[in-house]
């Protein structure tokens, strides 16, 4: 189980790193893709990239925190960013496919592929998280709390019977050894 948790965290961090890489590299290595789609809105596009990177980083930091609420908020932030990245990458790939069908030369940039791989790795990390969650819920929880342990509760009931004089000390001791599976 511990290994699965480590794998999930590594996959998460790789996905976030690839997502940030894809966002940083989009205007640098995919000038053809970005300029053909968002030429009049370049300033907004770059602002959106910067904002997206901040959301990725904040989401990752929150997700890795010990606070359960912050972790859930971080997971939601990163999940939404990965969904946006995935949808953008797929739409750019579809657009490139349409252009190639019209005999126009279009290449898919490296940041689009990084975004797609980032989203896929993130979804695998979510699947790993689901496996961990299910296996923890199915596995019986061992507790050391005497108030909730049925064996200890049974011993206490037998002790109560002995204290009230309903059973003898020897009968109680015999039942206690049996319940607690002690050697005589």
- Closest of 34, 62, 66, 60 to residue 48, by C-alpha: 34
Average pLDDT over residues 51-75: 86
Which CA distances in Å does 133 have to 36, 39, 77, 151?
44, 45, 20, 28
Is pLDDT above 80 for 81? yes
Residue ranges covered by each domain of the chain: 2-138, 150-180
Average pLDDT over residues 125-133: 88
Model pLDDT for residues 154-175, shown as the tens digit of each residue: 889 999 999 999 999 999 999 9
Is pLDDT above 60 for 50? yes
pLDDT on residue 15: 86
pLDDT on residue 162: 92
More confidently predicted of 132 and 27: 132
- Distance separating alpha carbons of residues 168 and 42, to the nearest angstrom: 88
Share of the chain above pLDDT 70, in %: 77
Asked if residues 36 and 125 have their Cβ atoms less than 8 Å apart, the reply is no
Is pLDDT above 60 for 107? no
pTM of the model as a whole? 0.59
Is pLDDT above 50 for 40? no
Average pLDDT over residues 30-44: 50
- Distance separating alpha carbons of residues 58 and 52, to the nearest angstrom: 10
Model pLDDT for residues 132-152, shown as the tens digit of each residue: 888 888 766 556 677 778 888
pLDDT on residue 141: 58
């Amino acid at each position: 189980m511990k290994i699965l948790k480590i794998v999930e965290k590594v996959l998460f961090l790789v996905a976030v790193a690839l997502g940030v890489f894809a966002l940083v590299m989009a205007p640098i290595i995919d000038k053809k893709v970005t300029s053909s789609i968002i030429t009049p809105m370049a300033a907004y596009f770059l602002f959106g990239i910067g904002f997206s990177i901040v959301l990725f980083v904040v989401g990752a930091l929150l997700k890795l925190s010990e606070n359960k609420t912050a972790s859930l908020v971080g997971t939601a932030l990163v999940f939404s960013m990965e969904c946006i990245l995935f949808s953008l990458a797929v739409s750019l790939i579809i657009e490139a496919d349409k252009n190639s069908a019209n005999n126009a030369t279009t290449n898919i940039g490296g940041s689009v592929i990084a975004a797609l791989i980032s989203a896929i790795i993130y979804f695998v990390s979510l699947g790993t998280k689901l496996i961990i969650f299910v296996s923890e819920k199915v596995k019986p929880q061992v507790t050391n709390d005497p108030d909730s342990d049925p064996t200890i509760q049974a011993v206490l009931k037998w002790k109560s019977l002995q204290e009230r004089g309903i059973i003898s000390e020897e009968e109680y001791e015999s039942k206690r050894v049996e319940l607690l599976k002690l050697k005589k």
